[in-house]
Amino acid sequence: MYIPFVPILVGTHLLVAAPASIPSVDIRKTCETAAAEMTELMAGSTARHDLDVCQNSEQAARAQLAKNWATFTAAEKAQCVQPSVYLPSYIEWLTCLEMEMSVRRPNAAP
């Protein structure tokens, strides 16, 4: 028996919702939470320094994302850019996107 709607069901996994632009992340919240955790875990850690390092790293990652945003596919963006997860991070998104790209194009430089 021929079922005409099967190709539609099989092909639906190809439809992905990717953000058109880089979603905004409250890096202050992400970094404050991370700095507080580091202070708890490491007695010599200073929350102010950790917060500054985290925010600078997040800003640099966002700048790199903005520079390379057009080179990532919609599927890669949908896979990696998850703004609604607990403490979203530009660093995590950039790392994920670069790994996805390296799988797609093993000889490409990020």
Q: What is the reported pLDDT for 15?
A: 44
Q: What is the reported pLDDT for 18?
A: 59
The rounded average pLDDT for each run of 10 residues, N- to C-terminus, in the chain (110 residues) is: 46 52 91 78 71 94 96 94 88 95 73
> What is the tally of structural domains in the chain?
1
**Lookup: tokens for 107:** 């000889």
Cα distance between residue 16 and residue 76, in whole Å: 9
Determine, yes or no, domain membership for 7.
no
Pick the closest to residue 76 from 85, 65, 87, 67 (CA basis): 65
DSSP 49: H
Q: What is the reported pLDDT for 68?
A: 95
Determine, yes or no, domain membership for 20.
no
What does pLDDT average to over the chain?
Answer: 80
Cα distance between residue 10 and residue 108, in whole Å: 30
Determine, yes or no, domain membership for 43.
yes
Q: What is the reported pLDDT for 40?
A: 66
Taking each helix axis from N to C end, the angle separating 47-68 and 90-104, rounded to the nearest 10 degrees, works out to 40
Let me know: does 108 contact 102? Beta carbons within 8 Å: yes
pTM for the whole structure = 0.73
Q: What is the reported pLDDT for 49?
A: 82
What domain range is 90 assigned to?
25-104
Determine, yes or no, domain membership for 11.
no
pLDDT tens per residue, range 51-63: 899 999 999 999 9
